[in-house]
Amino acid sequence: MLDFNHRPAFHERVTQIIDAALTAERATKRPRAYLGASRLGVACERALQYEYAGAPPDPGREASGRILRVFEVGHALEEMAIRWLRLAGFVLHTRKPDGGQFGFSAAGGRLQGHVDGIITAAPQELGLTFPMLFECKTMADKHWKACVKSGVAVAKPVYAAQMAIYQAYMEGEVAGISRNPALFTAINKDTQELWFELVPFDAALAQKMSDRAVRVIEATAAGELLPRGFAESSHVECRCCAYAQRCRGGAR
C-alpha cells in the first residue's frame, strides 16, 4: 500500500537542496565551445562529435547533483595531491607567471587542452628528468586497482591519450616536455592510496588523437555524422552513453 504521507528524510531534503543549488550553478556556466583534448581518447567518435557540437544529452542523462558532487570532490583531492607532492620536494607549477593555466590551443581555437601541471624538479633520489607533464586523476577502488595492475594505458586509455596529446602540443610552450615521461598520479577515493606511474611520450598515439580531432572538427563543420564506435546498442559503452537515444534514433 502506498504511503502518500511519506516525506523524504531530513538528510535527503538537505541533499536535494544542495543538489538543486549545484545544478543551478552549473546552468550559469558557459558551455565549452571547443573540442577538449582530454576527451579525445573516448571509445566512440560519434559520441565525441555530439559532445563537441554541444548536443543536449538524452532525457535523464544530464549530470545529476550527485555527479556534480563527485566532480568537486575529485578536484579537491587533486589539490591535496599537489600539496603533498610540493611538501615532498617536487617543484610543481599549476599556473603560469601571469596566473593563467598551462595549456594549448590549435585549429583556430577549436581544439584546446589545459594541463594539471608542469614539474621542473623533484627529490634527486628519484632520478627524474625535466620538464615533465603532471596529470592527476581520482578513481573508485576498482578502477584504481585496475591501473595498478595493468597500467594507465591499458586500464584507462582515455587518460593515456590525454597525456600523449598534451605532451605533443605543449612542446611549443614547454620545450622538452615530450622528451620526458609524464607523471601520472591516481588517488583511490575509497582508501586514499596513491599510484604514481611514469608514462613515456607515445608519438604514435598523439598523432592518432590529432587525426581524430581533425575528423571530428571537419565532419561537424560539414554537417556529417561520424560512424558509431559500436554496432550493437547493447555494448556497454552504448548503454552508458549520454547520447544513446539520439544516436540510435538518428537525431542530429
In a domain, 18, yes or no: no
Q: Please report the pLDDT score of residue 2 as a whole number.
A: 53
Asked whether residue 164 carries a pLDDT value surpassing 80, the answer given is yes
Q: Please report the pLDDT score of residue 250 as a whole number.
A: 54
In a domain, 219, yes or no: yes
Query: Hey, is 119 helix, strand or coil?
Result: strand
Give the domain extent around 43. 34-249
Query: Hey, is 77 helix, strand or coil?
Result: helix
Residue 84 and residue 88: Cα distance in Å, rounded? Answer: 6
| pLDDT tens digits, one per residue of 7-65 | 889 999 999 999 999 999 998 998 888 999 999 999 999 999 999 999 999 988 888 99
Q: Please report the pLDDT score of residue 95 as a whole number.
A: 93
Residue 206 and residue 218: Cα distance in Å, rounded? Answer: 18
Asked whether residue 171 carries a pLDDT value surpassing 60, the answer given is yes
Average pLDDT in the chain: 94
pTM listed for this prediction: 0.91
- Report which secondary-structure segment, H or E, holds 13: helix 10-27
Asked whether residue 5 carries a pLDDT value surpassing 70, the answer given is no
CA dihedral 19, 79, 116, 45 (to 10 degrees): -30
Here the CATH number for the domain that contains residue 81 is 3.90.320.10
In a domain, 204, yes or no: yes
In a domain, 150, yes or no: yes
Q: Please report the pLDDT score of residue 114 as a whole number.
A: 95
In a domain, 16, yes or no: no
| pLDDT tens digits, one per residue of 204-237 | 999 999 999 999 999 999 999 999 999 898 999 9
- Residue 154 burial (10 A CB sphere; 0-12, 13-18, 19+): exposed
Asked whether residue 150 carries a pLDDT value surpassing 90, the answer given is yes
Q: DSSP string covering 184-241, please?
A: EEEEETTT--EEEEEE---HHHHHHHHHHHHHHHHHHHHTPPPPPS-S-TTSHHHHT-
In a domain, 87, yes or no: yes
Instruction: State the total domains in the chain.
Output: 1
What cell numbers appear for 96 in the block?
603560469
| pLDDT tens digits, one per residue of 69-86 | 999 999 999 999 999 999
